[in-house]
């Protein structure tokens, strides 16, 4: 399996995030990708390469132009507010909820930052735009491999992407790599693309991007949003809208769910995907389902990830894997590569 590795990911390195009322060191750290890369090399799973540059038009197929323009210039604007800001991350302070307007683009940088975000746990840093853009290149590179006939490819990048919507960031995510890969597959002529999100946290951004479309099916297995982030999406009754009605499926599970029950949900998800008859599958590969994850609540163990890979391969669909969450840093490499190893062993 070919891996596209974002060798610029460490340019995005947040110092602090807001977590339960206090500023704490970021859970989303460069070591997450470093451990996965080291495990890939140790186990010799396949060639590893850097991505090619990403065309701005490919990003605009998923994200709103004014949002992309904001991200591209955000750090410079942050410094312009106060030169001392060079030593601290940018975090939003205001949000335009419900009756507030969002169509008018404020002149104030803090106001625009709030307009384009939904939480205070996603620091924007000097290298965020460079790292996120290179990550989108990884996703498109992996999609191109599948288009060229490879059974699977892996986009190893951070920051992750599945919480980013067409015009908002949050949940450590800025550009939605899974959605960019799925749209790239569609634009290349794949008639139907499925996206399966197996991160502990619901892929609210991916759902929102494709919610009214019938050509991209979105399925997510995740912690119950009654109690788990991102709280405001991910319920089982969200089935799509308009042309997309029936093409969105959420399988929320309670905190404490173990592998047997989780795997039942996976099998159900895969049956729905096979029935959809996609030409390609994009997997948002979150590893925060692990029993030792500090900000999640499922009980999966390291050997379980081999079984997950095997189950995904049984769907028989060319597959793009995109690295998402997983914050038990020392174990995330083994768990991620177990999925890929299990997949390739079963796929043959």
For 293-315, b where at least 16 C-beta lie within 10 A, e where not — what string? Answer: bebbbbbbeeebbbbbbbbbbeb
DSSP state of 181: H
The catalytic residue among 63, 163, 202, 222 is 163
**Residue 12 and residue 290: Cα distance in Å, rounded?**
24
Distance CA(175)–CA(165), nearest Å, equals 8
**Residue with token string 């039942």:** 264
Rounded CA separation 231/138 (Å): 29
**Does the annotation mark 163 as catalytic?**
yes
Residue 97, SS3 per DSSP: coil
User: What tokens were used for 344?
Assistant: 């390739």
> CB neighbours (10 Å) of residue 77?
16
Q: What is the residue whose two structure tokens read 């997949």?
A: 343
Q: What span, in angstroms and rounded, lies between the C-alpha atoms of 132 and 173? A: 8
- Which region, left, alpha or beta, applies to residue 252 given φ > 0 means left and ψ of -120 to 50 means alpha? beta
Q: What's the first-to-final CA gap in the chain, in angstroms? A: 11
Collapsing DSSP states into helix, strand and coil, what is residue 84? helix
Query: Would you say 152 and 315 are in contact if contact means Cβ atoms under 8 Å apart?
Result: no
Task: Report which of 281, 331, 329 is spatially closest to residue 309, judged by C-alpha positions.
Answer: 281
Angle at 156 between CA 155 and CA 157, to 5 degrees: 105
Mind telling me the catalytic residues?
A: 163
């Amino acid at each position: 399996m070919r891996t596209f590795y974002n060798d610029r990911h460490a340019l995005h390195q947040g110092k602090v995030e807001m977590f339960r009322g206090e500023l704490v060191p970021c859970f989303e750290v460069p070591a997450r990708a470093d451990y996965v890369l080291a495990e890939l090399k140790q186990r010799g799973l396949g060639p590893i390469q850097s991505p090619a540059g990403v065309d701005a038009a490919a990003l605009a197929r998923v994200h709103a132009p004014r949002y992309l323009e904001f991200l591209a210039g955000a750090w410079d604007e942050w410094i312009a507010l106060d030169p001392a800001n060079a030593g601290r991350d940018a975090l939003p302070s205001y949000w335009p909820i419900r009756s507030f307007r969002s169509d008018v683009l404020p002149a104030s940088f803090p106001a625009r930052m709030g307009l384009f975000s939904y939480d205070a746990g996603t620091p924007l840093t000097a290298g965020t735009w460079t790292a996120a853009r290179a990550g989108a290149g990884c996703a498109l590179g992996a999609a191109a491999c599948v288009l060229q006939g490879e059974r699977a490819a892996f986009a190893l990048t951070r920051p992750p992407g599945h919480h980013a919507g067409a015009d908002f960031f949050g949940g450590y995510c800025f550009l939605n790599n899974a959605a960019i890969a799925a749209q790239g597959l569609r634009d290349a002529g794949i008639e139907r693309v499925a996206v399966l999100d197996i991160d502990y946290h619901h892929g609210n951004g991916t759902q929102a991007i494709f919610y009214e479309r019938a050509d991209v099916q979105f399925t997510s297995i995740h912690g119950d949003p009654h109690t788990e982030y991102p709280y405001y999406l991910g319920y089982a009754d969200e089935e799509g809208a308009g042309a997309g009605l029936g093409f969105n499926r959420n399988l929320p599970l309670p905190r404490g769910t173990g592998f047997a029950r989780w795997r039942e949900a996976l099998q159900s998800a895969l049956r729905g995907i096979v029935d959809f008859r996609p030409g390609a599958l994009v997997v948002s590969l979150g590893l925060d389902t692990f029993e030792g994850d500090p900000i999640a609540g499922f009980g999966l163990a390291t050997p379980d990830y081999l079984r997950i890979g095997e189950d995904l391969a049984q769907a028989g669909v060319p597959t793009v894997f995109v690295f998402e969450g997983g914050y038990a840093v020392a174990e995330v490499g083994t768990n991620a590569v177990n999925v890929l190893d299990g997949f390739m062993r079963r796929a043959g």
